[in-house]
Amino acid sequence: MTNDNYFINLAIEEAKVSLREGGLPIGAVLVKDNKVISKGHNRLIQNNSVILHAEMDAIENAGPLTHEDYRKCTLYTTLSPCPMCSGAVVLYNIPKVVIGDNSTLMGAEEFLKANDVEVVVLNDVNCKNLFEEFTRKNPEIWQKELAKVGNSTESKI
């Protein structure tokens, strides 16, 4: 198993924590120097939040880091990150994002790349299946989420 597979599997475990809480199955982990320093999952439904996406939750749970430490981090996320989460990556100069799947939802990957963030897409079938199965079984929940954002998960760079 590669490092990327190992860490994305931890992000998937976080996505499953959210699922067990009644939330959207999206998870993330922040890795520094090859060690997980924080985990996060989508909390929109659980916390009635509009900002606690998995990536935001992971970045928040890491607490404040120095610029030098952020520069050593890689963010692993099960789903392509939206403009807000991508903006947080850009703000804190996190140099690399590893994405489990972007076939079910495309985020602001071009914005990340335009800001010199390395973007790796794993095309991980478990990430894809977990999210697709959820939206298929819970179309009303997913439509309610989509109804907030219109068509803006991508963003123009």
Q: Which residues bind its own copies (CB under 8 A)?
A: 44, 48-51, 56, 59-60, 62-67, 70-71, 82-88, 90-93, 108, 111, 114-116, 147-150, 152-153, 155-157
Which C-beta is closer to its own copies: that of 18 or that of 86?
Answer: 86
Q: How far is the CB of 119 from its own copies (least distance, A)?
A: 14
Q: Which is nearer to its own copies, 35 or 63 (CB)?
A: 63
| Minimum CB distance to its own copies, residue 40 (Å) | 11
Judged by CB, which is closer to its own copies: 114, or 125? Answer: 114
Smallest distance from its own copies to CB 29, Å: 16
Catalytic annotation present for 109: no
- Helices marked H in 29-118 — which ranges? 54-61, 67-70, 83-91, 109-114
Paired tokens of 69: 């430490």
- Could you say which of 21, 55, 110, 140 is catalytic? 55
The span from the CA of 17 to the CA of 27, in Å, is 8
Residue that the structure tokens 């068509």 belong to: 151
Question: Minimal distance in Å, beta carbon 99 to its own copies?
Answer: 16
Tokens representing residue 114 in the block = 């335009």
Helix axes 54-61, 3-20, angle to 10 degrees: 100
Query: Residues 118, 61, 29, 153: is their CA dihedral positive or negative?
Result: negative
| Residue 9 and residue 100 in contact, taking contact as beta carbons nearer than 8 Å | no
* Active site residue ranges: 55
